[in-house]
Amino acid sequence: MKRLGILTSGGDAPGMNAAIRAAVRTATRLGVQMVGYLDGYCGLVRGAFVELDDRAVGNIIQRGGTILGTSRCPEFFDPEVRAQAANQMKLDGVDGLIVIGGDGSFRGALALQDECGVAVAGLPGTIDNDVWGTEESIGFDTAVNTALLAIDQLRDTGESTGMMFFVEVMGRTSGAIALHTAVAGGAAGVVVPEAHAEIGLVIERIRETMAKGKRSHIIVVAEGDEAGGAFGVAPIIGKALDRPYRVVVLGHTQRGGRPTMRDRLVASEGGAMAVEALVAGRTGVMIGRQGGRSVEVNLRDVVNNGHPPVNAGLLRLAQQLSG
Ligand code: F6P
């Protein structure tokens, strides 16, 4: 392996830059050149790339977003477009590819490997933490910390005014951001797509705490909940409790910002290991986190298993600690 490509795909996530940096510098140590394709798979298809050396990735470890740009690239669903991309890689002299993204991006990577014989490695990079085979994806920790900051601030105004707040967090169809934010933010309740039916329990619990004199309530709602996110859930709970409320949608604020120590660390280990795997001839792997360590996981298992189940223990804990 003489020359590797790297790209970021799907939604950007804080820590992606740290992963790019680690991959490039590991490649340099192993005598391998590295190029960065721009704007995800779209850049791969067009052959739009930049050469990446140690200096090109200086001063980026602390920056959110991705220096390579990212996109969702629907054309890549087409096998002919993938063949064109593989051909483009040959023309660019690139013989392996690291894809930083979510499971949709990995599906594209695996197809590129299966159909065109391209060596690929995946790094889970998405704030949603919805990738099978890893306990945490790059960007998740930062996104949850961003949501926590907002919740801590809302607590001040909630406590002063007695207002109830419904805070909508991202996560697409996954409730992982919502659950972790709710537990770490001491929320009065949480509503996630995987357990929408428990909304009745949330109402009951808040009613009990109100009767005991609790003044302000923060309810974290995952954007993917079937009621339609916080704007759908708020009237249901607000009406049942007959309380005034406000809805706060954190939206893309959760995607930006300086990555936390955890995200930088996970990204740095992952970026290094992805390069090492490809250089050693191991293709079709994802560098995930299991038992608090970075490990190689079979990319096909990741794609075939779909999204991991909700953390039922954390859901119970969120309910148990609301008081
Ligand atoms: O997958 C990351 C994510 O931020 C999701 O949490 C969210 O649903 C989606 O991307 C938003 O996508 P877009 O930026 O395309 O609106």
Give the start-end residues of each E strand in 140-202: 164-169, 189-191
Distance in angstroms (rounded) separating the CA atoms of residues 126 and 177: 11
The Cα angle at residue 219 between residues 264 and 127, in degrees rounded to 5: 25
Q: Where residue 66 falls among pLDDT bands split at 50, 70, 90?
A: very high
* pLDDT value at 70 more than 90: yes
For residue 25, the model assigns a pLDDT of: 98
Q: How far is CA 110 from CA 19, 23, 105, 157, 196, in A?
A: 20, 20, 9, 48, 33
Backbone angles phi, psi at 59, to 5 degrees: 60, 30
Whether ligand 1 lies within 6 angstroms of the CB of 63 is answered as no
SS (H, E, C) 165-181: EEEEECCCCCCHHHHHH
Q: Which residues pair with 6 in a beta bridge?
A: 36, 98
* pLDDT value at 323 more than 90: no
Distance in angstroms (rounded) separating the CA atoms of residues 181 and 222: 10
- Give the model confidence (pLDDT) of 255-308 as tens digits: 999 999 999 999 999 999 999 999 999 999 999 999 999 999 999 999 999 999
* pLDDT value at 1 more than 90: no
Q: Report, as an integer, the average pLDDT of 48-55.
A: 98
Contact predicate 170/128, CB 8 Å: yes
Burial 131-141 (b: 16+ CB within 10 A, else e): bbbbbbbbbbb
3-state SS class at 60? coil
Distance in angstroms (rounded) separating the CA atoms of residues 56 and 44: 19
The closest residue, in CA terms, to atom 12 on ligand 1 is 11
Distance in angstroms (rounded) separating the CA atoms of residues 6 and 66: 12
Contact predicate 79/54, CB 8 Å: no
* Identified catalytic residue from 39, 54, 78, 128: 128
Contact predicate 33/3, CB 8 Å: yes
318 contact partners, CB below 8 Å, separation of at least 6: 179, 182, 183, 187, 189, 190
3-state SS class at 271? helix
- Give the model confidence (pLDDT) of 213-239 as tens digits: 999 999 999 999 999 999 999 999 999
Whether ligand 1 lies within 6 angstroms of the CB of 171 is answered as yes
Give the distance (Å) from ligand 1 centre to CA of residue 128. Answer: 8
Whether ligand 1 lies within 6 angstroms of the CB of 170 is answered as yes
Strands 293-298 and 285-290 come out as antiparallel
Domain covering 141-255: architecture: 3-Layer(aba) Sandwich (3.40)
Annotated catalytic residue 128: yes
To the question of whether residue 174 is assigned a binding role by annotation, the answer is: no
Nearest to 284 by CA among 97, 95, 88, 77: 97
To the question of whether residue 196 is assigned a binding role by annotation, the answer is: no
Distance in angstroms (rounded) separating the CA atoms of residues 64 and 61: 8
To the question of whether residue 300 is assigned a binding role by annotation, the answer is: no
- Give the model confidence (pLDDT) of 106-140 as tens digits: 999 999 999 999 999 999 999 999 999 999 999 99
- Give the model confidence (pLDDT) of 188-218 as tens digits: 999 999 999 999 999 999 999 999 999 999 9
- Assess whether the region 3-139+259-305 and the region 141-255 belong to the same CATH fold: yes
Give the distance (Å) from ligand 1 centre to CA of residue 232. Answer: 19
Count the neighbouring beta carbons within 10 Å of the beta carbon of residue 299.
Answer: 24
Nearest to 36 by CA among 18, 51, 47, 21: 51
Share of the chain above pLDDT 70, in %: 100
CATH topology of domain 3-139+259-305: Rossmann fold (3.40.50)
Cα-Cα end-to-end distance for the chain:
57
The structural domains of the chain, with segments of one domain joined by +, span 3-139+259-305, 141-255
DSSP secondary structure letters along 223-235 = TT-TTTHHHHHHH
